[in-house]
Amino acid sequence: SGPWTIDSAGNTYVRNKDLSYVLNLINDFGQISEIALNEKQTPEQIAIGPDGLIYAAFFGDYIHSNVCVAQFSKTGIQSKIWDIKSKYGSLFGLPKYGGGGVGGLACSGNNIYLAVMNNIYRLDVNGYAFNAKWERHGTISALATDSKGNIYIAYHGANNKSVVEKLDPNGTVLAQIGGSGPGQGNHLFPDGIAVDSSGNVFVADTDNHVIRKITPKVEVTTLGGTAGIAGISDGVGGSARFSSPQ
């Protein structure tokens, strides 16, 4: 998720830089079309559900609380909206209209997961309110899910220790990489996460300027780039260069 996302058919959805409530849809052939969301707010994060519907997290208006999640049809018509305030009260420490704080949005089955500051919220799309909340000791910068319903988050904790965690759908921690972890996972500064169909996790290790790969057995390797060396160039493995990837 993020200001862009990809659906199961390989279509890419990107928030338009000029009209923030418009999504550009790019298909496999590079053809671009537009989807105008009829809730004319700026989506901080977007995700595509298994049903092909569009989900967007945005800062609310006078009616809603600081952060809402809305469901849209494939043509941009809003069909449902969920307000964090209805379950957990207003969120404090966030700007009233935009400006950051939403770290991720992801869909898995009937569940939607939303990261705001140091909390993860779970929502059943068939329900009427958020039904779970899990707190972390740091600001969440990225969130993703795999085909089994597991959740992956990256967050920045105390003493400059950043971690990637794997959780089950009920919020139980299954694995943690980073902080005081082993090997290449010891000094992560993650700001982006993606998961493939085999359960491999790809981490944009932003401050180290590299892309890490974490296998289902929690083996951490550097897929591209060289830690500590920034640049922009194509290459294989350590010869590639990235500049603060996200």
Tens digits of residue pLDDT in 73-127: 999 999 888 887 656 655 554 544 444 578 899 999 899 999 988 889 999 888 8
Tokens 């494939």 label which residue?
74
Tokens 């980073």 label which residue?
178
Tens digits of residue pLDDT in 185-219: 557 788 889 999 899 999 999 888 999 999 998 89
Average pLDDT, the chain: 84
179 within 8 A of 214, measured Cβ to Cβ = no
pLDDT at 16 over 90: no
pTM: 0.86
The burial class, CB within 10 Å (0-12 / 13-18 / 19+), for 156 is buried
Interval 122-138 mean pLDDT: 87
Torsion sign across C-alpha atoms 55, 57, 61, 62: positive
Q: How far apart are CA 246 and CA 243, in angstroms?
A: 9
Helices (H), the chain: 85-88
User: What percentage of the chain carries pLDDT values higher than 90?
Assistant: 44
